[in-house]
Amino acid sequence: MRLGLRLGLILALVGVVPLAGLALAASGAARSWLVSAAVEFQVDDAGMLASVIARQLADTERVLQLQLGNYQLATASPQVQQAFLISTYRLFPELDVAFLLDAAGNDLVPPVYQSVNDEVQVTGHALMAPERIAEVREAIFRRPTEASVWGSPRPQAGSSPAALTAVFVSPWGDGTRLGVEVSLSGVSSRLRAMARQDREVVLFSLDGVELVQAGPVDLVDAESFRPLLGTVSADLRYRPASGQEVLGALARVPGQNLAVALATPVRSLDAAAEEIRTRTSYIAGVTLLAAMVFGRMLSRSVTDAVRSLRDASARMGSGDLASRVDLQRTDELGELATAFNKMAGSLQQNQEDLGRKNAEIAAFNVELQARVERRTAQLRAAQASLVQSRQLAAVAELSAGLTHELNNPLAGVVGLLQVLKARAGSDALLDAAEREALRCTEIVARLGRFTQGPAQPGDGAEREDVDVHLLLGDLLALLAGGMRERQITVHHRIGSLHVRGEQSALGRALGQLVAAVRTLAAEGATLDIRSEGRQLIVSVQPVLASQDDWRAASLGFWAARKVFEEHGAIVEEPQERSGLVRWIVRFPGSQS
């Protein structure tokens, strides 16, 4: 047998056989680990989904309890009771029907629901048949009156989603109860979000009835899960009617007669192990081919040694200083190869030192350029801030001049009207003209209070004790017309809040903040301004979602923030929740 063939077979035995064994062991271990990890993940997912469903139902219960506690319905008129029931029904799309009962279980007003005969349909609410209303009423009457309680779930009927009945007791202690049927359509959305092409999610009642299903329909075997419905959480492996092995997990929904089941086929986990075997086979084939080629190469080591020295010299002559000759010999060829490698190493080391020097110079140039760019950006930002400050100062100076120029003519108009009244006696038109002229004088006076003094704090004006309550009163009076045009309702509740600063600058900052918030407010929105200690809280609901509207209001926010910061105040980033956006201004001395 030739030397190349012998070397190739030896290398194949040494490299390929251990690799094949390792591949088999790795694929088995990978499959075992994946199955264990999948079971753990499914149990965690089931527990998380059960917690989400419990929180969702608890939120519904809390909000309905708060809604019930806002009114003393036992002593209210039937019109108020009916209005409460209708508003509650429309406020919660998940309600299928709502009853308002007294302590004896009698209807205080007719129940509210939606049927196929209604001319006007409310979006989001299910249609209820008369016989279904009777079933819900009977389920609600069976509930105790001492405390709020959730009833047993109702499975799907046709295309209608499953639902839960619940009774909520008034916190006023008058025996009034709110009975509702809550649709599980929101829960169905959660389940569909957790389902995948290879995973089915099912919501069971504790008596084994399937309420909601999402994903494939042949993975969750109800008979396999029913014995575990009374446990908090569990995992299992079984084979349903389809014959494929399935991994299942179960978690009970806290506080409800519900449980969540998840199921995934085991075959979906075999892809990783199969990928390991395929790649290992490919690597083994490449290794075998390389072993045969390398054996052939070794058999020609003598002639190849000279050829290697020649080729390496040619590569070095063309500039490849990393070229080396790998000859492990003790003869003249080995000594020549060693000397060649030492020469090549010295040349390469010199080239690497020169390359490092060049790299250091290039890195320093890059860093220097970055520093110049950062400094240039800072200077441009400072210049933009200075230009903006001067523009605001010019606007304030123009407003102050207009206030001064308008004040004298208005005083003359008021005087002339009073002279006419003195000569002509009492006249309705003159009285109305005098009132409007005095109103204009008051508006100009208020505007003057906002434009007196320098445009920015620190320009020479003395700081004084500023009453934010009075300042906001004048400001809202000036902005009342714009608020009315957009039908914005303003609530103004400011306690004792005094700030040390320049009154005109603070007035303009508050004006810019409120005007910017007004720009973002949708038509018919509610604007609430109140104080908590040393904090001023401005909130509006609802707001416009357009990016152009936010960009239009950004200048006012920026200018207000600058003035507040120069007074030692902090303007927090806006907070948004359920369509309500809130700004908080923390004046010095407030608790963050």
* DSSP-assigned letters across all residues of 6-73: HHHHHHHHHHHHHHHHHHHHHHHHHHHHHHHHHHHHHHHHHHHHHHHHHHHHHHHHHHHHHHHHT--G
Q: Is the model more confident about 475 or about 112?
A: 112
Q: Percent of the chain having pLDDT more than 90?
A: 10
The pLDDT of residue 455: 43
The pLDDT of residue 27: 61
At residue 194, does pLDDT exceed 80? Answer: yes
The pLDDT of residue 468: 86
The pLDDT of residue 299: 57
At residue 190, does pLDDT exceed 90? Answer: no
The pLDDT of residue 496: 83
The pLDDT of residue 134: 83
- pLDDT tier at 82 (50, 70, 90 boundaries)? very high
SS3 sequence, 211-237? Answer: EEEECCCCCCCHHHHHHHCCCCEEEEE
**Beta-carbon-side half-sphere exposure of residue 414 (alpha carbons within 13 Å):** 14
The pLDDT of residue 514: 86
- Let me know: does 50 contact 180? Beta carbons within 8 Å: no
Q: Is the model more confident about 81 or about 382?
A: 81
The pLDDT of residue 446: 55
Q: Which two tokens stand for residue 555?
A: 């200048």
Interatomic CA distance for residues 573 and 186, integer angstroms: 32
Mean pLDDT of 519-537: 89
At residue 156, does pLDDT exceed 60? Answer: yes
At residue 83, does pLDDT exceed 70? Answer: yes
The pLDDT of residue 207: 87
Interatomic CA distance for residues 389 and 394, integer angstroms: 9
Mean pLDDT of 258-275: 80
- pLDDT tier at 457 (50, 70, 90 boundaries)? very low
At residue 410, does pLDDT exceed 80? Answer: no
Of 360-374, 407-421, 554-568, the one with minimum mean pLDDT is 407-421
What is the phi/psi pair of residue 329, to 5°?
A: -130, 160
Interatomic CA distance for residues 229 and 46, integer angstroms: 13
- Cα 325 off chain centre by: 61
The pLDDT of residue 292: 63
The architecture (CATH level 2) of 61-188 comes to: 3-Layer(aba) Sandwich (3.40)
CA torsion sign, 92 to 97 to 102 to 108?
positive
Interatomic CA distance for residues 54 and 252, integer angstroms: 10
At residue 396, does pLDDT exceed 60? Answer: no
**Peptide bond preceding 542: is omega within 30 degrees of 0, i.e. cis?**
yes
The pLDDT of residue 254: 92
Interatomic CA distance for residues 53 and 32, integer angstroms: 32
Interatomic CA distance for residues 63 and 70, integer angstroms: 11
Q: Is the model more confident about 173 or about 144?
A: 173
Q: How many CB atoms lie within 10 A of CB 80?
A: 14
Helix (H) or strand (E) holding 262: strand 258-265
The pLDDT of residue 188: 85
At residue 458, does pLDDT exceed 60? Answer: no
Residue-averaged pLDDT of the chain: 78
The pLDDT of residue 3: 41
The pLDDT of residue 121: 67
The pLDDT of residue 401: 57
Mean pLDDT of 356-370: 86
Of 86-100, 400-414, 475-489, 512-526, the one with minimum mean pLDDT is 400-414
Interatomic CA distance for residues 224 and 241, integer angstroms: 11
Closest CA to 129 of 86, 166, 159, 168: 159
Q: Percent of the chain having pLDDT more than 70?
A: 72
- pLDDT tier at 408 (50, 70, 90 boundaries)? low
**Beta-carbon-side half-sphere exposure of residue 430 (alpha carbons within 13 Å):** 14
pTM, two decimal places: 0.44
- pLDDT tier at 302 (50, 70, 90 boundaries)? low
- Let me know: does 526 contact 488? Beta carbons within 8 Å: yes
The H-assigned helical ranges of 70-162 are 78-91, 130-141
In the chain, how long is the greatest CA-to-CA distance? 139
Could you read off the pLDDT of 252-266 as tens digits, one per residue?
999 888 999 999 888
Helix (H) or strand (E) holding 511: helix 503-520
The architecture (CATH level 2) of 463-586 comes to: 2-Layer Sandwich (3.30)
Interatomic CA distance for residues 469 and 167, integer angstroms: 45
Domain boundaries, the chain: 61-188, 305-452, 463-586
At residue 79, does pLDDT exceed 90? Answer: yes
Closest CA to 329 of 314, 308, 350: 308
The pLDDT of residue 196: 83
- pLDDT tier at 456 (50, 70, 90 boundaries)? very low
